[in-house]
Structures are given as structure tokens and as C-alpha cells.
Structure 1
């Protein structure tokens, strides 16, 4: 499966000139845990809710603190056409929670570790459904037990 199948689009972006407060308000409005910091079409960094807490609130930064002082850099990215295995490897190696996704040099989405968890859980549920149903039928006796062949 490709990264493009699970990524969230469009990415939520904020100008490199924005303040921490502006970014936080946008995160709340869009119900996201991070924003991509951009200067035109260039991705400068990623600002996550955790960055605001650890680099902002914990350091007594003011709400008008520039996002460029709080954002995480350098940014690790992934291509939309990459296999999800590449994303899994990046998450393990880089110890990150979100990957900006690029296609033809343009920022097109974000793949979060939560997206991978949701996919993994859905796949598990898809497998468990038939197994559970089969076990239930065996317990209630509505399905004949397999016979041994001589």
C-alpha cells in the first residue's frame, strides 16, 4: 500500500511569519495536532502541539512567539508514492509522529503515526470478524464440526 492511501489531505499550513497563538488557534479550528510551517511553497518546519508545550509554555514563551522559534527542524518527509514500509522505517529511525508527504516537489499531505495505527487496527478487525464469527458458530452448535478423514 502506498503512503498516499493513508495520508491526510490537504495539509494544514501556516506562514513562517505566524505566531504560536495563531498556529494554536488554527490547530484547534482544524482539529489537528500539528501544522506545517511554510514560506511560500517551501516547507520550513513542523509545529506540533507538543512543540508549543515543550518549547513554548515550558520555556515561558509568549503567545506572540514566532512559530519559527518553536517548530521542529530539520523536517523528515516521505513521497506519496512510497510504500508504507518506508514510512514505518522512518518512524522507527527518526523517532517522529508525523511525516509531511510530497508529490512532485509539492506538499500534498501528512501521514501521522495515528493514521498507521488506525489502518493496522482496521486490518486486525477485518481479520478478527470472520474468526470470531466462526468460533461463535462452533460454540452454539450451528455449524457442524469437521470430520476426520480415514
Structure 2
């Protein structure tokens, strides 16, 4: 599968002159941990919540300073048409947690380590489903208070408290 099947779109973007304070508010508003920094449609860098915490706050930048002063540039990217395994390799080799996704030179989305973890979890769940059904005496899911196993073993329901 291609990277585009796993990415979040569109990526939230700001320009390099956006203030650090505005960038932080933008992340909060959109519920994201990073913003792509663009000039028109051209990617100039990426700024993460960690960049703001570690470079801006710890580096004693002012909230009115431009986000371009604390962004990471150039950003490590991945192409939307690449196979998802290329993204795994890029994450492994670069050590970053977020990758802007490009279609040519245009930013079309964002791929995060969390996106790939969700894919892994879904795949593991797909594998475990048949195994779980073959090992369990009963299907997974809610049961009544004593449950089928307890009835099979002749157990009575638990006594109610306060009686």
C-alpha cells in the first residue's frame, strides 16, 4: 500500500513568519503536534510541539518571535506514492516521529509513527482474531453476571452486597 493510504490530510501549515505563540495556538486548535512551514506551496520546514518546548521556551525565544527561528529545516519527507515500507525505513533511519507527505513538491498530508502503530495494531488484531476464537470456549464479548463457564461448572451467581 502507498503512504497516502495511511497519512492524515491535509497537513496543517503556517508560514515562517507566523509567531511561535500563534503556531502553538494553531496546534492546539487543530489537535496536532506539528505544523508544516511553507512558503506558498513549497515546504520550508516543520515545527513540532517539542521544537516549541525545547528550542523556543528553553532557548528563551519570545512567543512573538517567528516560528522559522525554531523550526527544523530541511524537513525529512516521504512521497505519497511510495510504498508504506519506505516510510517505515525513513522513520527508522531518521529518528523523527512525523513526516510531511509530498506529491511532487506539494505537501499533501502528514504521516506519524502513531499512524503506523495503529496499522500494526490492526494487523495484529486481524491475526489474533482467529487464534482467539479457536482457543476460547466462548466467543469474546459481554456475558451475563455469572457467565456460561460458571453455569457449566455448577457455580451460583455471586451474592449481592448488603443483603
- List structure 1 runs of 4+ shifted beyond 6 angstroms: none
- 1:43-122 aligned at under 5 Å gives the runs 43-122=43-122
In 2, Cα distance between equivalents of 1:105 and 1:93: 22
1:133 is displaced (CA, Å) by 1.4
1:40 aligns with 2:46: no
In 2, Cα distance between equivalents of 1:49 and 1:102: 21
1:137 is displaced (CA, Å) by 3.2
1:65 is displaced (CA, Å) by 1.6
Instruction: Note the residue ranges of structure 1 that are not aligned, 5 or more in a row.
Output: 141-150
1:112 is displaced (CA, Å) by 0.5
1:104 is displaced (CA, Å) by 3.2
In 2, Cα distance between equivalents of 1:51 and 1:2: 29
In 1, Cα distance between equivalents of 2:81 and 2:31: 26
**TM-score normalised per structure 2:** 0.82
More helix per residue = 1
**TM-score normalised per structure 1:** 0.88
User: Radius of gyration: which is bigger?
Assistant: 2
Two-structure CA RMSD over aligned residues (Å)? 1.3
Three-state SS of the structure 2 residue aligned to 1:21 is helix
Total equivalences in the alignment: 139
